[in-house]
A = this chain, B = another copy of it.
């Protein structure tokens, strides 16, 4: 059960085994063992896993079926203004699992502003 959940969460983030293991500070083979079911993570390790994947230990163990992220936000949709840097301070925007730099975001904002200006003239 835990192995399936880990693989699903990691692939959703488009992370490799090596990258995930590095984030956790463990060997690649160790984390791979978790996903293959060959090993079970220790109590300390599973706390780190839940933290890294932003979910609950209960979800990893299959006790509950909802990941905590969805559980908290499914009722209230949040506003996220992309030009507000302090709002984005605690959000890491990614595309294909890779971080979005501030420069890239600024380029996008400029692009959208120009696009809207042109559309407004019609």
Contact = CB atoms under 8 A, between A and B. Distances in A.
Interface string A96-109: 11101000100011
Interface string A76-118: 1111111110000111111111101000100011011101100
Contact of A71 (B41, B71, B83, B84): B71
Contact residues of A: prevailing secondary structure? mixed
Question: What interface size band does chain A fall in?
Answer: 35 or more
A58 B70 CA distance: 11
Interface of A: 2, 12-14, 40-43, 46-47, 50-51, 54, 56-58, 61, 63-64, 68-84, 89-98, 100, 104, 108-109, 111-113, 115-116
